[in-house]
Amino acid sequence: MTSHIMPTYNRLPVTFERGEGVWLIDENNQRYLDALSGIAVCNLGHAHPAVHKAICAQSEKLLHTSNLYKIANQEELADKLIKKSGMTNVFFCNSGAEANEAAIKLARKYGHEKGIDSPAIIVMEKSFHGRTLATLSATGNAKVQQGFAPLVEGFIRVPYNNINAIENAIETNKNIVAILVEPIQGEGGINIPAADYLNQIRQLCDANGLLMMLDEIQSGIGRTGKFLAYQHNDILPDVCTLAKALGNGVPIGACLARGRASEILTAGAHGSTFGGNPLACAAGIAVLNTLEAENLIELAQVKGDNLRAQFSEQLKDNQHIVDIRNKGLMLGIELDRPCAELVKTALEQHLLINVTNDSTIRLLPPLIINEQESQQLVNTLVAIINDYTAKIH
Ligand SMILES: *Cc1c(COP(=O)(O)O)cnc(C)c1O
């Protein structure tokens, strides 16, 4: 049968019908171990009863009203997010790109209020911020931008994990109003910066009156062993964007702001029809409650470190491994050559993984993964990697 879906994705030849925890089950009742969580979305695994219950209960009452009215679930979710993040307030939307759009608009308006007519935002090489025009312009990947010129102006790109480059950019450009950066680059290859990188960015932002804006869309919601990755450092950003795991599969995004940044987007300056609707917020509340009730954030750290240790041990004699790194359950196994085909090999062995930046195997398993499932993940993937590298001469 011909597909009538616009071919924006090269899809793998499998269709899943249902899920149970870390498992996805296809049309032929075959079970697959999901070590990707729909790209860091289903942090609680598939069909988590708490999320199921929350959205069923909400759907019996109300799906949508409008942001023209007060929305109790939105207030409650914002309240929880503020308490967990140290931020001041929240704008709700429906995706990561939209959350970053809100942050970019906020930064520009902040600049205009300071008398800067052409505000610019520092962004990073190898970053990923989304597929809308502004966010693809902010993204540090030529493939994402290819064919979409003219790009949105006002972004100044510097190498990731390089404080000098940021300092130089600030010195040479008086229009800079903000720095937008991922605490850990996901799409860019699970790139973990120096331990004090974010602290130094915080200092530079304070010294120069810039907004520190963190894209936590992939790294947030417990993934790295803290609720937000910046909590590994002793800092607060001015703006923080969330999406992916916030609804465990129900679309929801959020732009959190603090202090001066929380007063910029006033009535009429920004909006969203669906943003923060009662259903999406019910899912968000259930996600945050469950992370706490099941102690999943602390466990993510332990589980991630165990996985890395096991991969390191079992792959220690493989000469083609460049690096194995993790922050909680955000893991990368970097090979010395492109390895995108491993995604298909793994699928054949009923394991779902991903490869980013051509040569890094990316693992983002659900935070609920247990020891036996972790063991199976390690054993299956190590065999796949060794098979692949054994064919290299
Ligand atoms: C996925 C992702 C986005 C974009 O989110 P969408 O919901 O696909 O728009 C932005 N930033 C980061 C870091 C991401 O991982």
The tens digit of pLDDT for each residue in 24-44 reads: 999 999 999 999 999 999 999
Q: Which of 235, 269, 293 is the last residue of a domain?
A: 293
Please check the confidence at residue 162 and state whether its pLDDT lies above 90: yes
Closest ligand 1 atom to the C-alpha of 218? 15
Residues with CB under 6 A from ligand 1: 95-97, 100, 128-130, 182, 186-187, 215, 217-218, 243-244
Q: Which of 234, 262, 293 is the last residue of a domain?
A: 293
| Active-site choice (84, 91, 92, 215) | 215
Q: Is 391 noted as a catalytic residue in this protein?
A: no
Please check the confidence at residue 1 and state whether its pLDDT lies above 80: no
> Are 58 and 195 found together in one domain?
yes
Model pLDDT, residue 156: 98
How far apart are the CA of 249 and the centre of ligand 1, in A?
Answer: 13
Q: Residue 2 has what DSSP assignment?
A: -
> Are 32 and 110 found together in one domain?
no
> Are 322 and 223 found together in one domain?
no
Ligand 1 atom 10: the closest Cα is on which residue?
129
pLDDT band at 392 (very low <50, low <70, confident <90, very high): confident
How far apart are the CA of 154 and the centre of ligand 1, in A?
Answer: 20
**Does residue 219 belong to any structural domain of this protein?**
yes
**Does residue 213 belong to any structural domain of this protein?**
yes
Cα–Cα nearest to 332, from 351, 313, 357: 357
**Does residue 11 belong to any structural domain of this protein?**
no
User: Which domain CATH number covers 359?
Assistant: 3.90.1150.10
Least confident of 2-6, 195-199, 203-207, 250-254: 2-6
pLDDT band at 197 (very low <50, low <70, confident <90, very high): very high
| Active-site choice (128, 227, 274, 311) | 128
Q: How far apart are CA 171 and CA 174, in angstroms?
A: 7
Closest ligand 1 atom to the C-alpha of 215? 13
Q: Is 128 noted as a catalytic residue in this protein?
A: yes
> Are 307 and 244 found together in one domain?
no
Domains of the chain: total? 2
Cα–Cα nearest to 152, from 181, 130, 167: 130
Model pLDDT, residue 60: 98
Ligand 1 atom 5: the closest Cα is on which residue?
96
Model confidence pLDDT, tens digit, residues 260-284: 999 999 999 999 999 999 999 999 9
Pocket of ligand 1, candidates 98, 132, 180, 218: which has the most ligand atoms within 8 Å of its Cβ, to mutate?
218
Interval 366-374 mean pLDDT: 98
> Are 183 and 36 found together in one domain?
no
pLDDT band at 143 (very low <50, low <70, confident <90, very high): very high
Q: Which of 266, 293, 320 is the last residue of a domain?
A: 293
pLDDT band at 207 (very low <50, low <70, confident <90, very high): very high
Please check the confidence at residue 348 and state whether its pLDDT lies above 90: yes
Contact present, 212 and 202 (Cβ < 8 Å) = yes
How far apart are the CA of 96 and the centre of ligand 1, in A?
Answer: 4
Model confidence pLDDT, tens digit, residues 12-21: 999 999 999 9
**Does residue 78 belong to any structural domain of this protein?**
yes
Model pLDDT, residue 39: 98
Q: Provide, rounded to the nearest whole percent, the portion of the chain with pLDDT above 70.
A: 100
> Are 69 and 141 found together in one domain?
yes
Model pLDDT, residue 296: 98
| Active-site choice (84, 244, 303, 327) | 244
Cα–Cα nearest to 360, from 335, 390, 384, 342: 335
How far apart are the CA of 40 and the centre of ligand 1, in A?
Answer: 10
**Does residue 5 belong to any structural domain of this protein?**
no
> Are 91 and 142 found together in one domain?
yes
> Are 352 and 289 found together in one domain?
no
User: Which domain CATH number covers 104?
Assistant: 3.40.640.10
Closest ligand 1 atom to the C-alpha of 187? 15
What is each CA distance from 147 to 128, 133, 135, 154, 276, in whole angstroms?
17, 11, 15, 19, 33
How far apart are the CA of 240 and the centre of ligand 1, in A?
Answer: 13
Q: How many CB atoms lie within 10 A of CB 260?
A: 13
Cα–Cα nearest to 62, from 282, 216, 339, 275: 282
Model confidence pLDDT, tens digit, residues 45-86: 999 999 999 999 999 999 999 999 999 999 999 999 999 999
Q: Is 327 noted as a catalytic residue in this protein?
A: no
User: Considering the chain, what is the average pLDDT of its residues?
Assistant: 98
Structural domain range at position 307: 16-47+295-390
How far apart are the CA of 318 and the centre of ligand 1, in A?
Answer: 33
**Does residue 189 belong to any structural domain of this protein?**
yes
**Does residue 8 belong to any structural domain of this protein?**
no
Please check the confidence at residue 384 and state whether its pLDDT lies above 90: yes
